[in-house]
Amino acid sequence: MKFNVEKMKEISRKMTPNEQQEIESRNENRDWLALSAKFSLLLRFILRTEKMTQTELAARMGVSCVQITKLLSGKENIGLQTIAKVEKALGRSLVSFRDSFEQTDPREKKNTFNQTVSFQVFYAKPEGFVVKTFAPETFSRLSNDKILV
C-alpha cells in the first residue's frame, strides 16, 4: 500500500498551543520523567509480588491514596523524602547511591564528583516479570550548574 501524502495533509490539523507546550515540557523534563517511570514500574511490581494494595501502602506511608496514584503514574517528580517514605513502608531499599570523590590530576586543584544511581529494572514477558539486577547510571558533576551524564 502506497503512502498518500496529500490524504495525510487533508486529515491532519495544526497542533494547538497546549499540545505544543506539552511536547516542550516533556522534552525539557525527559530525564526525571524516565526515572519516575522506572520507579513507578518498580513500585507496581513490588506491590503485586507482595500482594499489597495501594490503600495499604498509603496507610503505611501516612499519605492519601491520591498520592500513591500519583507515584504510580510515572509522571510525578519524586523527592528523596518521598522515596525514603516508600522504602520505610516497604521495609526495603529501592534506590542506591555510590559516591566517589577523586582528584583528576595531582597537579590540578580541581576535584571531580561521580555519583552512580541504580534502579532495579523489570522486563515484562508473557510468563511474568524478569528482574535485571541493576542498571547503573553515572552522573559526573563538572561544576555547580552543569551535570554530565
Task: State the CATH number of the domain containing residue 110.
Answer: 1.10.260.40
Mean pLDDT of the chain: 77
Is the confidence at residue 132, as pLDDT, over 70?
no
In a domain, 83, yes or no: yes
Domains of the chain: total: 1
pLDDT at residue 143 in the model: 44
In a domain, 73, yes or no: yes
pLDDT at residue 2 in the model: 77
Q: Is the dihedral of CA 144, 145, 146, 149 positive or negative?
A: positive
In a domain, 138, yes or no: yes
In a domain, 101, yes or no: yes
In a domain, 135, yes or no: yes
**What pTM, to 2 d.p., does this model score?**
0.58
In a domain, 120, yes or no: yes
Give the mean model confidence (pLDDT) for residues 21-44.
91
pLDDT at residue 18 in the model: 93
> How sure is the predictor about 7, in pLDDT bands with cuts at 50, 70 and 90?
confident
Is the confidence at residue 130, as pLDDT, over 80?
no
In a domain, 119, yes or no: yes
pLDDT at residue 60 in the model: 95
CB 78 within 8 A of CB 87: no
Question: DSSP assignment of 6-72, as one string?
Answer: HHHHHH--PPPHHHHHHHHHHHHTHHHHHHHHHHHHHHHHHHHHTT--HHHHHHHHTS-HHHHHHHH
Q: Which domain holds residue 132?
A: 16-148
In a domain, 139, yes or no: yes
Cell numbers describing residue 10: 487533508
Instruction: Give tens-digit pLDDT for 48-106.
Output: 999 999 999 999 999 999 999 999 999 999 999 999 999 999 999 888 776 555 555 55
pLDDT at residue 39 in the model: 92
Give the mean model confidence (pLDDT) for residues 22-50.
91
